[in-house]
Amino acid sequence: MPPPDTAMIRSAQRDRAQFAAIYEHYVQPVFRYLFSRVGNRQDAEELTAQTFLAALESLPGYRHRGAFSAWLFSIARRKAADHFRRQSRAGRTAAPDEVEQLAAASAQGQLELAALIAGLPAAERELLQLRYVADLSFVEIGALLGRKPDTVKKSVYRLLARLHAEMESPNE
């Protein structure tokens, strides 16, 4: 299914029932992104539901100024941030242990990569999550983060090259 166009979004603004097509298009990428952030299926499902509820409620005020996906994922980012704030106030650890979750089902190389990714600064880790988990384009990520698409693309490729080099260096 192609991404929603301006006409589809305007239609959903007039008739909430039309939001279903937008939901169907984005529910899996939003869920994958949130799951990669929180590391728990139940929490990711709840945050996905909260994201789409907030989007539906805010849709009448949405103004098409770029990628719709950037607007939607900015809501998802805020929901994840709220989740971590609530967890930290409740005395639980805010960040999921991504390496431990991958350990049971991953090969050694994947474990090494997961450890490298887990050690990245949050901004770099999120860049990879937006690109490869949420499957957003460089244009959409740029709109979401307030950066130029070419800058996002260069950042991703440099980050991948750095991870590749770090994976290769212990094996030499």
User: What does pTM read for this prediction?
Assistant: 0.65
What whole-number distance in Å separates Cα of residue 168 and Cα of residue 172?
A: 7
In the numeric block, which tokens belong to residue 116? 């490298």
What is the predicted pLDDT for the residue at 105?
39
Asked if domains 1-95 and 97-172 share a fold, the reply is no
In the numeric block, which tokens belong to residue 98? 């991504």
What is the predicted pLDDT for the residue at 62?
87
Q: Which amino acid is at 69?
A: S
Cα distances (angstroms) measured from residue 164 to each of 113, 118, 151: 9, 15, 20
What is the predicted pLDDT for the residue at 99?
44
CATH number attached to the domain at 97-172: 1.10.10.10
Q: Where are the domains of the chain?
A: 1-95, 97-172
What whole-number distance in Å separates Cα of residue 87 and Cα of residue 90?
A: 5
C-beta separation of 47 from 76 below 8 A: yes
* The length of the chain, given as a count of residues: 172
What is the predicted pLDDT for the residue at 109?
60
What whole-number distance in Å separates Cα of residue 159 and Cα of residue 101?
A: 23
What is the predicted pLDDT for the residue at 91?
55
pLDDT (tens, 9 = 90+) of the chain, 172 residues, equals 556 678 888 888 888 888 888 898 899 999 999 998 888 889 999 999 999 999 999 988 888 777 888 899 999 999 999 998 888 776 544 344 544 444 443 445 656 777 778 888 989 988 988 888 888 889 989 999 999 999 999 999 898 888 878 877 755 5
Report whether CATH 1.20.1250.20 matches the domain 1-95: no
Helix (H, G, I), strand (E, B) or coil at 121: coil
C-beta separation of 75 from 23 below 8 A: no
